[in-house]
Amino acid sequence: MYSEEKITDPYTGPELLDALEKPEKIHKVVQEAILLAGGAVAILLQIAEPGVAQGVDNHSNFAYRPLDRLRTTMTYVYCVTFGTREEKKAVIEMAHRAHASVNGPGYSADDPQLQLWVAATLYAVGIELYQGMFGMFEDADAEAIYREYSVLALSLRVTPDMWPPNQKEFWKYWDNQIATMVVTDNAKSVAKDLLRNEEAPLQIRLLLPLVRLMTAQMLPDRLRQAYGLRTSKVRRTTYRFIMGLTRATYPCLPKTIRTYPMKYYMRDMRRRLENAA
């Protein structure tokens, strides 16, 4: 059990935990397995921020453990969204402890500006994929879901005033970030390990051509070019065909299948918390 009276860190205190208990509409989005299709896109967007790229390249090992960041990210997102109050607190504290060691000249994983960008990529990629499958939200629902996504940022040491107050301001922030990002050698190194990983298990290597195709088409043009990913009329047509086929079939799948990854990662998280107790 975790006692809130012992908390001294304001970023894991009762006020944050109270806020994390309120989201309702975000559940509808986060539970969908289709969001995993944007995993590589979100990572490449995140590491287009030089500070994030330096931290990931220096402190992660994509070459030999390519799914680690996806696992930790999705475990965090699912737990913060669906976990119990104690589970959320435990996972947030674990993330903060892990981030404490990820620092060096010019970067720190605890930098709120970097974590704001990480949270922004999770919202932007997730909402694009969800609406691509199920259609656009009504304005009121779209704003409510956007506001609830802020809990992912707040739990990463981002202060409430840093999260843009509405979608219009968010997309201004987003466009400015995309226009000014610099894809560094650190970012290119991580992207190579992620998309062209010769050390990955065979089943992952077989999927990488498809992952590269989908990721290249989903990235903004400027960043796709900076990463050296290719596009062409044939690739764009193939992408549209795959997305159209997925749009026609995915929403028809039973909810138990569409939410299986969420349930799997939640079970994995609970098992790890029990082992750590």
pLDDT of amino acid 64: 55
pLDDT of amino acid 240: 96
Q: Which residues span the domain enclosing 192? A: 4-276
Q: What is the mean pLDDT of the chain?
A: 85
Q: How many CB atoms lie within 10 A of CB 159?
A: 12
- Joined together, the tokens standing for residue 83 give 């976990």
Examine the pLDDT at 170 and tell me if it is beyond 50. Answer: yes
Length of the chain counted residue by residue: 277
pLDDT of amino acid 132: 96
CA dihedral 236, 242, 244, 249 (to 10 degrees): -170
Report, as an integer, the average pLDDT of 205-222.
93
pLDDT in tens, 77-134: 998 888 888 888 888 888 877 777 777 777 777 788 999 999 999 999 999 999 999 9
φ/ψ of residue 155, rounded to 5: -75, -5
Q: How many domains does the structure of the chain reveal?
A: 1
In contact, 262 and 30? CB cutoff 8 Å: yes
Please, how many CA atoms are within 13 Å of residue 268, restricted to the half-sphere of its CB?
Answer: 13
pLDDT of amino acid 96: 76
pLDDT in tens, 143-154: 999 988 988 888
Fill in the DSSP letter of residue 228.
T
